Amino acid sequence: MPSIIKREHVNPFVRPGPNGLPELPRHPGEPPMHARIWTVRATATAAALTFVAALPVASAHADTTQAATTAQTLSVDYDTWLRDVAAVVAEARPYIEQRTADASGEKQAIVLDIDNTSLETHFHPFWKLPTPAIQEMRELARYADSRGVAVFFVTARPGIIHSLTDWNLKQTGYPVDGLYVRDLPDLFGEVSAYKTEKRAEIEAKGYTIIANIGNNTTDLVGGHAERTFKLPDYDGQLS
């Protein structure tokens, strides 16, 4: 019986590598497969080490930013600010009571600024929502509402956060009959002119603005309100 010779098929395009295993062909100048694998591993390891090494730097930067924010927040004493706000509210409430005693069918309204007038923006981290209401101001707004007065908010905030602002005000207990924010064209103009224009729009709807309350002169100048009440801003430390 003739013997059967088993011949191993040899692929002419595959050659043995340094460890005896077959290796696929490569372009001239390209490193062997085992070298390419380790190159990839080394690159991945280096990237991981770079990322880990960067973590303390990012953390330090975050800590520095937080410390700077805290220092800025503490530049105005919170308790003193609340007492100063309460003093202004103590003047505004009896005025609203007297002014609404005999409205005689008049559509009355008050206009409020938002940041550091209605909400504690300066004293609360911006990433924690909702921003708390200033209690004295919220109670004043509720009192006016109970007397049949419409409560409007006119803010320099951009229109992109209109829904968020409306939610924040209502979530913290404010009555909201209208909220005005700055559209894109308004962002390039004077804040005082924009706010004056919005008060004029409220009047055009048939309302008499009996009080306009804000913590900055840009909230109050320009007329279109019977009386203005200014909350403290401590020479611009509060926006």
Q: What is the 3 state secondary structure string of 82-133?
A: HHHHHHHHHHHHHHHHHHCCCCCCCCEEEEECCECCCECCCCCCCCCCCCCE
- For residue 176, give the CATH number of its domain: 3.40.50.1000
Same domain, 108 and 200: yes
pLDDT at 75: 76
pTM over 0.75: no
Query: In this predicted structure, what is the pLDDT of residue 21?
Result: 46
Please check whether residues 144 and 35 belong to one and the same domain. Answer: no
If asked whether residues 217 and 133 sit together in one domain, one would say yes
- Give the end of a domain, one of 29, 53, 74: 74
Q: Is 209 helix (H, G, I), strand (E, B) or coil?
A: strand
Tens digits of residue pLDDT in 61-70:
333 333 333 3
Indicate if 140 and 197 belong to the same structural domain: yes
Identify whether residues 27 and 98 lie together within a single domain. Answer: no
Task: Kindly report, residue by residue over 31-52, the tens digit of the pLDDT.
Answer: 444 334 333 333 333 333 333 3
Is residue 239 domain-resident? no
- Residue 151's domain comprises 77-230
Question: Residue 238: inside a domain, yes or no?
Answer: no
Does residue 200 lie within any of the structural domains?
yes
Domain end position, chosen among 74, 91, 114: 74
- For the stretch 160-196, pLDDT in tens is 999 999 999 999 999 999 999 999 998 999 999 999 9
Contact 167, 190 (CB under 8 A): no
Q: What is the pLDDT of residue 196?
A: 98
Same domain for 44 and 159, yes or no, is no
Domain count, the chain: 2
